Amino acid sequence: MSGSCISFAVYLFFFINLILRTLASVVSVGDFNKDFYITWAPDHLNTSTDGRERSLRLDQQSGSAFASNAMFLFGQIDMQIKLIPGHSAGTVVAYYLTSAQPNRDELDFEFLGNVSGQPYILQTNVYADGFGNREERMYLWFDPTADFHTYSVLWNLHQIVFMVDWVPIRVYRNHADKGVPYPRWQPMGLKASLWNGDSWATRGGQDKVDWTKGPFIASFRNYKIDACVWRGNPRFCRGASTSNWWNKPAYRTLTPRQSRLLRWARKYHLIYDYCADKQRFKNNMPKECTFPKF
């Protein structure tokens, strides 16, 4: 083969790889109407004319929900949310990544409403290979109903980091080599919903939804999806590729500042950690609980 043919082949190889990388990743700060579809009760959902803000409504007839058009494998998702003001007992606002059933992986933010004057509870959970039971709960250090706040999840082959206004509140490390399930194979879609969870959400189901306080409305805006779009080819999504920023060595662990913020959040605001619930698990604690949290 002549030198010119070799040069052209090399150029073509790098050009194709560049195109595949471009197709594999998406940075979106855009339009709910373009990036999401409605999965439940379109008459209980309202979107601004520019598509940049969306609200969900819950009443006695129905809740509501929407989901992303694309599936993702690794990246970071940010969403600004303003929660239900006033009496919100029994309601659940959910914002999460989830794979297909039955052996689903899932990363949950669940906001559990409460009676007037009591704080919201933020519950996070991690499902891996179809199993969850990894709940953590905390009070937030601000009123999440007064304004929008940013809730984020960073997900790569090394760690899953839940963040509130860029403050890490939870880290789930990859210990798959030690037999701990970790979401690393299945692409996940982004979903959000508002629904009646009064069988369990507030004080273990003791406080029910007071429909006279409704309708209950939660609002979403300014989402950002910076993740690897799943197209059936894992080559540019999994950890072997560093073309995506979240796979770079700097994101394999928290920075010292992030570690300090995580310790602060957990010391002053954490109210339940499944790894500390010996009554629930007795002598059969989940295996990941034997490893350092961060």
Active site residues: 106, 110
> Which residue, 273, 281, 39, 75, is CA-closest to 169?
273
**79 SS3 class:** strand
Long-range contacts of 262-268 (CB under 8 A, 24+ apart): 262/167, 262/168, 262/169, 262/170, 262/171, 262/294, 263/294, 264/167, 265/138, 265/141, 265/164, 265/167, 265/168, 265/169, 266/138, 266/169, 268/141
Give the pair of three-digit tokens for residue 231: 């197209």
**Within the chain, what is the greatest distance between any pair of CA atoms?**
80
